[in-house]
Structure 1
Amino acid sequence: MKTLLAITLIALSAGVLWTNTVGGALSEHLVRLLFCTLCVLGLAARSIRETILLAVAVLLALLVMTKPDGWTNLLTALDLAAYFAAFIVLLTALKIAAERSRSVLAVGRYLIRQPTGRRFFATASGGHILGVFLNFGAVSLMAPLIQSATKHPDGSTDVDLERRQLSALMRGFAWILLWAPTTLTQAVLLTLFTEIDLTRIVLMGTATSVLMMLIGYLYDRFEWRRLPPKTEGEAPICPQRALLVLCVVCVSLIGLVAILQVSAGYTTALSLMFVAPVITLIWFVLQKPEGIALSSQCKRFWPAFDANASGLARSAMALGLSGFIGRVLAEVLPIDALTSGLDLSTIPGWVFLAVLPILITLGGQVALSPIILVVFIGQVIQTIPALPADPTNIVFALSAGWAISMFASPNATATLLISATSNIPPTTLTWRWNFRYGLICYLVLVAIFAWLEA
């Protein structure tokens, strides 16, 4: 069954890439069929989350078929679900090479052996800066680096250090959604809201990102204030060769993504979906032990991928089904009727802005992907006759809600990627480790909203 899952994941990913470049009705139908096949085969490896998502998706599919153009809307939702499923599979597969890399281990140990104060900023800023260029590829690259570097020589894990470093990665990476034009957030919101000041968005987002990472550092120091101080040994020696290898991997990812964007006109997400598996295969093959032929090392990739099939399938089902649910909800719910009589003129603008992150974060708790939820809320806002806040500030608030959901929602893409890589439950990464930090960030954002709308 696991091998069949692996074959289905590869076929689905290849089909999505073909459909979004070459196109064709036959490939579209095949991709939809493969996603449905994945959902059936994935039941053998499912958790309660995937079971609930599948049940809700089936119910909504039956409801949307009772609406005008129901069949067309159902197929559109399946296309989106398959795209998201392939997206997370292709990016998560990067861990197959990363977790076997000696360079990853060497650089990871170098980072976490930094003095405590520098360690948080090294991880958070690394996730943030790489995220600007690589999007979720940065999470896929750094999460196994962190986890492998928290291993003791006897094979046990320093769980406290693992928690602090993975939290720092999430807290640093999430805030790129506030300003980076390479993110899906800005791509979606700039499509929904055309009359905004992009320069203002970038400036506000950059300043807020720096502030939130500083808050993350201060909260980390406060949260672990009672941890007995560890004896600091000599400063670690920089593993220059290992660092060079990782720089080559990162530059290759960034460079190839940029080349595809410029030459083929692909989006950042689609470019990453092409580049990530190529880099994964090359990186894996070049890690061959001494005396092993390249052909023999190539043959080892399939067993490695096959061993990860169940985890990849769960992540693909969760993200794909969440996307399907969010898209179909927009067709099932009577949005025009709900907003036609809505009068928001008496509501202060900052209050309206403060509600948006709450809606996005709460939606993530019930398995609605932040990506789809932001699109859904954006469509609702477009139908409101008079907006109570400046459209630029609305885009900023939606981006902020999306960012908070990245470390506060168990169903966010970054959370699912880290969970698939580290085998740590999404609820642990979010509710247990980052809920209070998210609450502090939200209160700071409310103050920013009040200042913006003053």
Structure 2
Amino acid sequence: MANCGTVLAIALLTPQVRWSRQIFVVLALALAAYAWIADPGEAAAVLGHALERASFILAFFCALATLRHTAEISEAITRAAVFLAQQPPGRRYSALALGGQTFALVLNYGSISLLGSMARSSAAREPDAEVRAIRTRRMLQAVHRGFAASLMWSPLSFAIVISTSVVPGASWGAILVPSLGSAALLTGIGWALDKAYKSKLAPGRVPVRDRSHDDHARVLLPVLWLLLLIAVPVMVLHVTTGQSASLSVLSVVPVVAGLWLLIGVPVGARTRHLGGHVGAFVFRELPAFRGEIVLLSMAGFLGSGAGALLAPMVAASGLDLSAVPVWVLLLLPVWLIPLGGQVGMNPILFVSLFGPLLPAPEVLGISPTPMVLALTAGWALAGVTSPFTASVMLIARLGDVTPADVSLRWNGLFSVICAVVLSVWVLLWV
């Protein structure tokens, strides 16, 4: 039933999206045709598994969108974002980078739109054009890199969901601590570069901080409560039932979003209030994400299907990847995923395709941890360097620059340093 719904949704949405998204659908149809021609006996199983991956991605995206819908209309969430954007220069980067990770749990890409917009509005009050440009860039870099760091540990990120699904034996609980280490390294490197390379201004041009909008840190409490409402049930389900964190998220997030909508609403008006938001979400908000829905679900289908078709070909060719040094196999995703992003290869497609080709961790004599760390590290770096990703394009629009400026000029050195450091970090877990 879910697979039929996915096929119907893609069929309805494809004519409404840009040609760059339609290409993915054409490639998916070509892959399906090739599978039936090459091996009719295995085609049903291969395409069925690929369609299941696409259905899961679609369902996961919709579940996260319910939370985003709730958070974006919450005055408390907006106030917390304003608080982070108005921190003094000495702690602004760390506040926005850490806040970006926290908000990404709730809003996904919406965290960039919300925090980035608040950061831009805060910087816009600066009358000096040079100071305004410097402040805008540094604040947007912090938000962007914070979002990228969240990809390496958040159970609500596609990076964690897809990476743990393609690596046999991997689970979110098992890789949480080292994944937080990856995020800490990326955040720390960004903070250090911000401190080392911040532009120096003449004493007379250093802006005086506007304290008229100061608020207390307690405005962050609603965000923390929302995270606890998600994290605790997800963890309980993950530990007690043994089901994956991603399936737990599917069960918990829509419920939490619905309950959050009802806070402060009179008892007699709750049904009407919730019904109105459900209607707005289904008929207005979700269709607005049609491009993302088509791209993400088809990337999952292509990666899963192509990976399943290529695996026996690789084995038949005599190429034994288990004979390749383990350190080489582990470092390949860290460097290749960002490089693939330069030519428009979506990380979902890359990981779904590359993951099944890798030997199982037990064959290599390692745990699943370093393999997942490598995949998520490459995914996070692609998120700040690929001019084709939504995160880079959002930052470019907010910063009035091109995606190439964001990926190379703003994040080039940062990404190279992070790739080197994260490569070492991955190998430490072998």
Which TM bucket (shorter chain)? 0.7 to 0.9
Q: Which runs of 5+ in 1 are unaligned?
A: 1-26
Shift in alpha-carbon separation, 1:223–1:391, aligned structure 2, 3 A: same
Rounded to whole Å, the distance in 2 between the matches of 1:101 and 1:428 is: 33
Task: Answer whether contact 2:321 2:359 (CA < 8 A) is retained.
Answer: no
2:61 maps to what in 1? 88
- Which residue in the other structure is 1:328 paired with? 305
1:400 is matched with which residue? 377
1:298 to 269, 274, 278: 274
8 Å Cα contact 2:50-2:305 kept in structure 1: yes
Using the size of structure 2 for normalisation, the TM-score is 0.76
Residue range with higher mean Cα deviation, 358-367 or 273-282 = 358-367
Partner of 1:15: none
* Residues 86, 316 of structure 1: 8 Å contact kept: no
Please show how residues 33-432 of structure 1 align to structure 2 within 5 Å: 33-66=4-37, 67=39, 68-128=41-101, 134=105, 137=106, 139=108, 142-143=111-112, 145-147=114-116, 149-150=118-119, 152=121, 164-165=138-139, 167-175=141-149, 185=160, 188-189=163-164, 192=167, 205-221=179-195, 225=199, 229-234=206-211, 237-239=214-216, 242-286=219-263, 293-301=269-277, 302-303=279-280, 305-333=282-310, 334-337=312-315, 340-342=318-320, 350-365=327-342, 368-371=345-348, 373-382=350-359, 393-409=370-386, 415=391, 431=407
The 1-side partners of 2:142 and 2:200 are apart by 18
1:369-390 deviation per Cα after TM superposition (whole angstroms, max 9, x unaligned): 5345335433323189996999
Taking a change above 3 Å as real, the CA distance of residues 65 and 100 of structure 1, as seen in their structure-2 partners, is: same
The CA distance in 1 between the partners of 2:401 and 2:252, in whole Å, is 28
Is contact 2:96–2:146 with CA below 8 Å preserved after alignment? yes
Q: Equivalent pairs: percent with the same residue?
A: 25
1:140, distance to aligned residue in structure 2 (A)? 5.6
1:30-77, Cα deviation, whole Å (9 max, x unpaired)? x22221222222134312331111111111111111223112211221
**Partner amino acid, structure 2, of 1:313:** R
User: Shift in Å at residue 295 of structure 1?
Assistant: 4.7
Matches of 1:73 and 1:190 in 2, distance apart? 16
8 Å CA contact 2:185–2:422 kept in 1: the answer is no
Number of residues of Structure 1 aligned to a counterpart in Structure 2 = 412
Compared with structure 1, are the counterparts of its residues 49 and 284 closer, same or farther at alpha carbon in structure 2 (3 Å cutoff)? farther
Q: Alignment partner of 2:108: what SS?
A: helix
Q: Aligned pair in 2 of structure 1 residues 381, 75: CA closer, same or farther (>3 Å)?
A: closer
Comparing 79-88 with 225-234, greater Cα deviation is found at: 225-234
Q: Which amino acid aligns with 2:27?
A: V
Give the SS at the match of 2:289.
helix
Letter in 2 for 1:256: P
CA deviation map 1:128-174 (0-9, x unaligned): 4677xx5xx46367445414534749x99989767644542442343
Counterpart in the other structure of 2:129:
none
CA distance in structure 2 between the aligned counterparts of 1:322 and 1:115, rounded to whole angstroms: 41
What SS class does the counterpart of residue 211 from structure 2 fall into? coil
| 8 A Cα contact 2:387 2:393, kept in partner | no
**Shift in CA distance, 252/397, structure 1 to aligned 2, threshold 3 Å:** closer
Task: Find the aligned partners of 2:363 and 2:164 in 1 and give their Cα distance.
Answer: 19
- Structure 2 distance, partners of 1:448, 1:258, is 26
Alpha-carbon distance, 1:232 to partner? 1.0
Instruction: Give, in whole Å, the separation in 1 of the partners of 2:401 and 2:271.
Output: 36
Aligned-partner Cα distance in 2 for 1:303–1:233: 38
CA contact (8 A) 2:153 2:179 kept: yes
Q: 1:62 to 1:348 in 2, by over 3 A?
A: closer
TM-score between the two structures when normalised by the length of structure 1: 0.72
Q: Letter of the aligned partner of 1:89 in structure 2?
A: C
Paired with 2:332 and 2:168, the residues of 1 have a C-alpha distance of 18
Q: Distance in 1 between matches of 2:365 and 2:309?
A: 26
Distance 2:429 2:17 in 1: 45
CA shift, 1:425, in A, is 12
Tell me how far apart the structure 1 counterparts of residues 270 and 161 of structure 2 sit (CA, whole Å).
Answer: 41
**Aligned equivalents of 1:109 and 1:44: distance in 2?**
39
2: distance between equivalents of 1:416 and 1:315? Answer: 15
- Does the 8 Å contact 1:409/1:430 carry over to 2? no
3-state DSSP class of the match of 1:437?
helix
Q: 1:46–1:260: structure 2 CA closer, same or farther, 3 Å change rule?
A: same
Which segments of 5 or more consecutive residues in structure 2 lack a partner in the other structure? 127-131
8 A contact 2:144–2:384 mirrored in 1: yes
- Measured at CA, do residues 299 and 394 of structure 1 come closer, stay the same or move farther in structure 2, by a change above 3 Å? closer
Amino acid at match of 2:318: S
Contact 2:67 2:107 (8 Å CA) reproduced: no
Match of 1:24 in 2: none
1:366-420 deviation digits (Å, cap 9, x = unpaired): 55553453354333231899969998655543342233233334677x849979x
Distance 1:436 1:241 in 2: 36
CA distance in 2, matches of 1:253, 1:429: 36
Distance 1:250 1:308, change over 3 A: same
RMSD between aligned alpha carbons? 4.6
Q: 1:234 to 1:85 in 2, by over 3 A?
A: same
CA pair 163-37 structure 1, distance change in 2 beyond 3 A: farther
Distance of 2:120 and 2:145 partners within structure 1: 22
Please point out which of 399, 418, 428 is paired with 1:441.
418
Letter in 2 for 1:149: M
Q: 1:229 Cα deviation (Å)?
A: 4.3
